[in-house]
Amino acid sequence: MSKTYLMAIIMAAMISSPAVLANSHKAPETETPREMIEEATRQILKAFEIMLKAIPQYAAPEILDNGDIIIRRKHPKKDKPSPKPGNGDPTKTKT
């Protein structure tokens, strides 16, 4: 399923990018087609890089003695910072 989803995103990006670029980017008269292709390629590669960073990465599954299967993230999300001491009850407001 993930390959299908990835291919759908790639196809959508490839189909929509020329239309978006045509409307938002006014190329100067001196820009050659080769330069335009190189710039478009850079933008597509940058989009792929951003997309790959957004996809969570997982380690190999571990099977525990009790039969549980654990699949850990390679780069776990950072925990939210704990509330500062002395703030009191977060449900109460000061008036």
Overall number of domains in the chain? 1
85 lies in some domain? no
84 lies in some domain? no
Instruction: Report which of residues 85 and 4 the model is more confident about.
Output: 4
How much of the chain exceeds pLDDT 70, in percent? 52
- Tell me, what's the pLDDT at 15? 72
Contacts of 72 (CB under 8 A, 6+ apart): 58, 59, 62
14 lies in some domain? yes
Query: Structural domain of residue 28, as residue ranges?
Result: 2-70
Out of 8-12, 54-58, 62-66, least confident range: 8-12
Helices (H), 1-95: 2-24, 33-54
49 lies in some domain? yes
Mean pLDDT of the chain: 76
53 lies in some domain? yes
- Tell me, what's the pLDDT at 76? 61
For the cut 80, the answer to whether the pLDDT of residue 37 exceeds it is: yes
What is the C-alpha to C-alpha distance for residues 85 and 80, in angstroms, rounded to an integer? 15
CA end-to-end span of the chain: 53
User: In terms of pTM, does the model score above 0.75?
Assistant: no
